[in-house]
Amino acid sequence: MQNNAPLSHEIAIVTGGSRGIGLAIARSLGRLGARLALCATTAESATRAASALEAEGISALGLPADVSDPNAVRRFVSAVQAKLGDISILVNNAGVGIFHPAHQIEEAEWDRVLGTNLKGAWLMSREVAPQMIRQKRGHIIHIASLAGKNTFAGGGVYCASKWGLRGLAGCMAEDFRGYGIRVSVVCPGTVHTEFTPHAGKDPSRMLQPSDVAHVVVMLVLQAPQSFISEVDLRPTQKP
């Protein structure tokens, strides 16, 4: 990767980076020169995704971590820093969706969704924050959802996690802006991936992972005197 690429001096973590939206984001950042650390739930999936990016000439490290586990997050970030250096971009993309009426959600399901979608973003941000504060710059981008603004039947735990993520992002933006760290949240509508099929919807009219990646690139390339706090992303035509 050329040293004059726009992100050639950046080290980026992308959680949930082995597939779908996360892999698209990693690929887009890598093509602009960022050195990447991909976090996935298994070593096999993390390594496979990193190898695919390396084959494209993108510098990528794949490591497993459960983002809801503070010890796993600590080990992951420590390993990335030891191998690549201080992190300057964090994309909190890891997420799971479980959809039941609120009174039918099991406690374990509640804990899994909130632990991944909300607690995981907080844990990862908390772990990289000292590095960014020391550098007096950085980007933290949370991938939320329009479900963080709109309610629907069966979406209780998922919506709760994404509404919470938007609230966390807004507060973090105020906490960190004095250190030159920009915090943003991206709220996509329905995105077409092989892992999240949507029965009855036209895939050609749905958002694509590359659409979300485009927004992330736009955020990290924003001029340093300003930042975009929140982006709503919708398909041009309804699926």
Q: Hey, which residues are catalytic here? A: 158
d(CA 20, CA 4): 28
Specify whether the backbone of 190 is left (phi greater than 0), alpha (psi in -120 to 50) or beta. Answer: beta
Classify residue 217 as left (phi > 0), alpha (psi -120 to 50) or beta. alpha
